[in-house]
Amino acid sequence: MSDNEFPDDDHPFLGDGDADALEEAYMGVLNGNPRTCVEMFRMEVTAFEYICQVLWDTLIMEPTERSELEESLAIFCLIVGHGQGQRVVADRFQHSTETINRHVKTVTRAVHELGRSVIRHTHTVGVHPYIASNRHNYPWFQNCLGAMDGTMISAAAPAHLGNAYRNRHGRVAENVLCACDFDMNFTYVYTGWEGTAHDARIFLDALSRPDNQFTWPAPGYYYLVDAAFPCIEMFMLPYPRERYHRSDRYNEDGFWGYKDYFNY
């Protein structure tokens, strides 16, 4: 959201520097119109409150840091969700840039630690209910744990690395490898690769280095991957030389055969 979407006297984060007034400002976002929270923090009020509660209950943050948890998370969401500079956010919250930087580092560190328990498998034994309850999926995918793919995430890179991170769409980004299960939860995330890196290279690096802590499927189980990945055991690719993008079908109702139907 751009700064000019609020009149100066109505902006949720513009104040006179008084701590109580600032707290009232960002708490007003949480207690006001739910749409405002989504626009400002990129998440619903219930999600914001849930993250605060989880960070509080897990004691990841120090007591002094937890006392200003809501404000820290609000600052973090505003910077990450809108790409705002720390000077702009410092003016909105009436803090120094050093204080804003501390808030962001605090939440980043806490979320990183929390990710160790949040990013995990939710169903690893037997047939997943989503597969078992759908006749189009069962029994063909009964041992499937989920899907893996690469996705481009916008990033800020140093000037001398700009070309390496500029992907084929001309955007500076990271190529992030993700695995998701049928509960729509992330079970593995591997970040840090340049936007020009190929999915297969990132995939093989994630599997080959023990410090990446990739959890291999149990015997008999596998992940679904797309045609950009190498064909190796425990990872099922679509049939080669067959269409598998929905955009390739041009609203056609029929299929060309069982391979086309499988890729679909």
pLDDT digits (tens, 9 = 90+) for 28-86: 677 778 888 888 888 888 888 888 888 888 767 766 666 678 888 888 988 888 878 88
CB 48 within 8 A of CB 39: no
Geometric angle at alpha carbon 85, from 79 and 89, rounded to 5°: 65
The whole-angstrom separation of Cα 199 and Cα 203 is: 6
Per-residue model confidence as pLDDT tens digits over 165-188: 888 888 888 999 999 999 888 889
Local confidence band at 6 (pLDDT 50, 70, 90 cut-offs): very low
pTM assigned to the model: 0.67
Nearest to 186 by CA among 224, 126, 146: 146
CB 117 within 8 A of CB 194: no
Radius of gyration over alpha carbons of the chain, in Å?
22
Q: Write down the pLDDT at residue 221.
A: 92
Local confidence band at 224 (pLDDT 50, 70, 90 cut-offs): very high
> Could you tell me which residues come within 8 angstroms of residue 136 by beta carbon, excluding any fewer than 6 positions away?
none
- Sign (positive or negative) of CA dihedral 44, 10, 24, 98: positive
Question: What is the pLDDT averaged over residues 248-259?
Answer: 74
Q: Write down the pLDDT at residue 26.
A: 64
Nearest to 121 by CA among 181, 49, 77: 181
Token pair listed for 132: 């078992």
Scored b (16 or more CB within 10 A) or e, 11-43 reads: ebbbbeeeeeebeebbeebbeeeeebbeebbeb
Rounded to the nearest integer, the mean pLDDT of the chain is: 81
Question: What is the pLDDT averaged over residues 219-229?
Answer: 91
CB 177 within 8 A of CB 190: yes
Cis amide leading into 139 (omega within 30): yes
